[in-house]
Structure 1
């Protein structure tokens, strides 16, 4: 029987399936950045708030959630309407916004991008599928094309590029992959939304954050020494052996094992 770490393939699948069932449930939402898009019911509100929450998702989770709620307050708790109709004066409060290295310059550019995009498109899904083909094994080309498009605006601030990752720079793209999991994965567990239909869950790449990375290495799911895009692909390929249609569901298991159980 094939081995993964100290567990056989069958035992590993059984173990991670059990942890997936444990952690993919509504109680997961409250202390996680995914709680921000859960504040809304409108598709575009979930996309905008979710993308911002994912991009800001580094540091202590309580601080992340607090900062995201602050942003939503500045948008009058109607992000899509604000994006489409705000005036120059409406942007003044954002000049004081800061989360770690994400500052007012970055915030204003994000708002500008969103306004340009949503005035021409109905859903942010269109930005991520522009470079993606149905037969592509993963979303890699979609992420590359999205990054190019995101910074296709004139006079974009160079400093803002560090806040939107791309596989073209070998980044693991953990925050964007997390955002895509929220938007694409479909189940009835109450965490992920499944509101995008043009990307298959089988194409998603596992978000490779610190906790997931550590647990995956302990389980023998990652062999690469560094953590980059190829590492995220390696982990996802191993998870695809356990569930070819929905490999990223195991993000719940790996994250829960790392954060809650200190595995």
Structure 2
């Protein structure tokens, strides 16, 4: 199909999936449990971190984690006693162990207490020039608090080619703003026009079937390749097409 036909087809799918009904069966349901900005940010970040594998299991584990944080993640991180942290020694999700979880929570505590919060850290990197700069800066900052070597694999490194699917998904949640009620649009200092597609097996396969991705690996170069077309379809909000590509891959026999 030509570019106009592709746009019409994908716009129809965006309208189908970018709606509140999408939330229930997606990890974005976790930050939607909250109304306070910091709670949304922290809950969203932790849910996005473990967002691989079956979505029902992701949501189940993330919900368990929110319960351990007493459904007040920001307040818990800021005020937890030393004895409170031992609870998380029981948490794990697939290869994300209690060691990783404890480091993530303590790093978040440091970021909010000493570095202005997640939005500020991502924005500092973004102001260097791009979302890629934001991803690189965030990773350097996040792992700077005496992180265990094993935990590094849970923070995507685009300098080594990672697509950074989960971090780009998290940025979509925090940055994109429309009136559909799915993404939050909390972070005004980062432009939706600069966001990158959260490329995974579903969005990658559909992109190849549509002819907008030739590269075989789902890496950062593949993200760049797909984004060339998505920006032609909507230069101001190209990542809205994540809803279409993901929906086609997960929900339709395309």
Measured against the shorter chain, the TM-score band is over 0.9
Give me the whole-angstrom Cα distance separating, in 2, the residues matched to 1:116 and 1:129.
17
* Pairs within 5 Å for 1:122-137: 122-133=116-127, 136=129
TM-score by length of structure 1 reads 0.94
How far off is 1:123 after superposition? 3.3
Give me the whole-angstrom Cα distance separating, in 2, the residues matched to 1:129 and 1:262.
38
Give me the whole-angstrom Cα distance separating, in 1, the residues matched to 2:37 and 2:117.
8
* Pairs within 5 Å for 1:30-49: 30-49=24-43
The aligned residue for residue 216 of structure 2 is 225
Moved more, 112-121 or 16-25: 112-121
- What SS does the aligned partner of 1:94 have? helix
How far off is 1:121 after superposition? 4.1
How far off is 1:122 after superposition? 4.2
How far off is 1:92 after superposition? 1.4
The aligned residue for residue 70 of structure 2 is 76
The aligned residue for residue 198 of structure 2 is 207
Contact 2:201 2:218 (C-alpha < 8 Å) held by counterparts: no
How far off is 1:262 after superposition? 2.6
RMSD across aligned positions (CA) = 1.0
How far off is 1:42 after superposition? 0.4
Aligned residues: 254
Moved more, 125-134 or 145-154: 125-134
Contact 2:30 2:59 (C-alpha < 8 Å) held by counterparts: yes
* Pairs within 5 Å for 1:234-245: 234-245=225-236
**Structure 1 runs not aligned, ≥5 long:** 1-6
**Structure 2 runs not aligned, ≥5 long:** none
- Post-superposition, which runs of at least 4 consecutive aligned residues in structure 1 deviate over 2 A? 120-123
Tell me, yes or no, if structure 1 residue 94 matches structure 2 residue 92.
no
How far off is 1:224 after superposition? 1.1
The aligned residue for residue 24 of structure 1 is 18
How far off is 1:236 after superposition? 1.3
The aligned residue for residue 250 of structure 2 is 259
Give me the whole-angstrom Cα distance separating, in 1, the residues matched to 2:222 and 2:229.
11
Give me the whole-angstrom Cα distance separating, in 2, the residues matched to 1:89 and 1:204.
40
The aligned residue for residue 174 of structure 1 is 165
Give me the whole-angstrom Cα distance separating, in 2, the residues matched to 1:123 and 1:88.
21
- What SS does the aligned partner of 2:70 have? coil
* Higher percent of residues as helix: 2
Give me the whole-angstrom Cα distance separating, in 2, the residues matched to 1:237 and 1:197.
24
